[in-house]
Amino acid sequence: MAATAASLALDVTSGLRASDLEAYYQDLHRHPELSFQEHRTAGILAGRLRDAGYAVTTGVGGTGVVGVLENGAGPVVWLRGDMDALPVKETTGLAYASTVDGVMHACGHDTHVTWLTFAAEALAAARDAWTGTLVVIGQPAEEAGGGASAMVADGLQERFPRPDAVYGQHVAPGPAGLVAHTPGLIMSAADNVEIVVHGVGGHGSRPEATVDPVVTAAYIVTRLQTVVSREVSASDAVVLTTGQFHAGLRPNIIPAEARLGLNLRTQDAAVRERVLAAVRRIAEGECLAAGCPAPPEVTVGASFPATVNDAALDAEIAAVHRDIVGENAVIDFGPAMGSEDFSVLVPTGVPYDFWFVPSTAHATWQAAPGKEVAEKITGVPANHSPLFAPDLSVLLPGVRTLAGAALHTLGA
């Protein structure tokens, strides 16, 4: 079946021209849209799917797009690509760099939409090669953490054919030409946590008449560094980052409150609860020590579950991909600390597979310091960097790996 799916994928994509993929991708890259604002991107995807013969529903979960192509009796496959960009100012210097100030496709979702579009079109044009139903999902707001949930809340799992398998892939740093598969846990759970510290504001010349929330929040940030180093086993993978610290409007005014934004990555549910408890305890303790007029507000906001591939399905799709990109080009990076809401879309009990497509240009990769992958990968632009620029050489192979996965389930 692996060889059949691979040969079918190569066959159905044989007519694709790299120049067409590049033009489509570069247009998307020039016009990035933030979470739940992907109106242009969704419109382009929806139009291409309609032209290819899909029954298209727009506005699912806000700006989501769902295309359904029924092609006789057989399995149902969902293919998913996310569409949103990030509030990052691009500094790549590319000729097709973002034209939207302060907004960039810094996580490669323009690449994902390109893969999704051309795989969907190629499969639609080759209906004689497979039977069943193909559902193509353009998901909004992955970066904000609410896009998949919004589509599910809008009836995604009830309004459209229930899948037998769900597939997705993500561009990543690493040498272009590889495909990275990991059976089981592949991406971590993530939680965004907000801490509001309440103080007593006043004039900067009279700190004795205030309770300074900036100092208290600074102590919280410093103490949080001990959570991973002193409260979690070295064998547990945990990252706790303070990415936001907001307080005050003028240098001579002590503000009445300070706000911290944290991001937590974990791979075990019990560890997650232990770390969240530590965050609450530290915030409350520091506020108590400072004499704050009220306890801190600690709120867990947007969350992503861990992404856990069906191990058997992943082995099957990895075999398909070996036949597409080469036996030695499929590797295992192991579980990543990055997170996704891909699995939120998947109905309970349905197997899914998610993999990475490394996209660093060979010259950039060779110039990075170090010899091993783990060393070199820290020296190249990664997702969310203002310098992140997937090499165009990954566009056609990415279409083939996505189509190959679909054909593994749908193949005639």
pLDDT in tens, 159-217: 999 999 999 999 999 999 999 999 999 999 999 999 999 999 999 999 999 999 999 99
**pLDDT above 90 coverage of the chain, percent:** 95
Active site annotation includes 231:
no
Q: Categorise residue 363: left if φ over 0, alpha if ψ from -120 to 50, beta otherwise.
A: alpha
Give the ranges where 326-379 is alpha helix by DSSP (H): 362-367, 373-376
∠158-163-169 over CA atoms, to 5°?
A: 115
Beta bridge partners of 257: 198
The whole-number average pLDDT for the span 142-169 is 96
Residue 392 has what pLDDT? 98
Nearest CA-CA partner of 405 in 166, 67, 121: 166
Residue 139 has what pLDDT? 98
Residue 412 has what pLDDT? 59
Residue 372 has what pLDDT? 86
Contact status, residue 355 vs residue 340, Cβ threshold 8 Å? no
DSSP 99-144: SSTT-B-TT-HHHHHHHHHHHHHHHHHTGGGB-EEEEEEEE--TTT
pLDDT in tens, 44-86: 999 999 999 999 999 999 999 999 999 999 999 999 999 999 9
Say what the pTM is: 0.91
pLDDT band at 2 (very low <50, low <70, confident <90, very high): low
pLDDT band at 302 (very low <50, low <70, confident <90, very high): confident
**pLDDT above 70 coverage of the chain, percent:** 99
Contact status, residue 84 vs residue 97, Cβ threshold 8 Å? no
Residue 35 has what pLDDT? 98
Residues of the chain with CATH 3.30.70.360: 189-304
How far is it, in rounded angstroms, from Cα 174 to Cα 370?
Answer: 13
Over 80: is that where the pLDDT of 96 sits?
yes
Residues 6+ apart with CB under 8 A from 20: 118
Beta bridge partners of 198: 257
pLDDT band at 374 (very low <50, low <70, confident <90, very high): confident
Residue 222 has what pLDDT? 98
Beta bridge partners of 134: 69, 77
The whole-number average pLDDT for the span 298-304 is 92
The residue type found at 180 is A
The answer to whether domain 189-304 has CATH 3.30.1360.70 is no
Nearest CA-CA partner of 390 in 117, 40, 99, 96: 96
Over 80: is that where the pLDDT of 3 sits?
no
Burial of 366 (0-12, 13-18, 19+ CB in 10 A): exposed
Q: What value does the mean pLDDT of the chain take?
A: 96
Active site annotation includes 142:
yes
Residue 1 has what pLDDT? 57
Which run of H or of E encompasses 269? helix 269-290
Q: How many CB atoms lie within 10 A of CB 327?
A: 8
The answer to whether domain 2-186+306-410 has CATH 3.50.30.50 is no
pLDDT band at 122 (very low <50, low <70, confident <90, very high): very high
Nearest CA-CA partner of 9 in 221, 151, 190, 179: 179
Residue 13 has what pLDDT? 96
Residue 371 has what pLDDT? 86
The whole-number average pLDDT for the span 139-163 is 96
Residue 53 has what pLDDT? 98
Beta bridge partners of 136: 67, 79
DSSP state of 388: -
Residues of the chain with CATH 3.40.630.10: 2-186+306-410
Over 70: is that where the pLDDT of 354 sits?
yes
Which is catalytic among the residues 33, 90, 121, 142? 142
Which is catalytic among the residues 38, 84, 212, 353? 84
Residue 154 has what pLDDT? 98
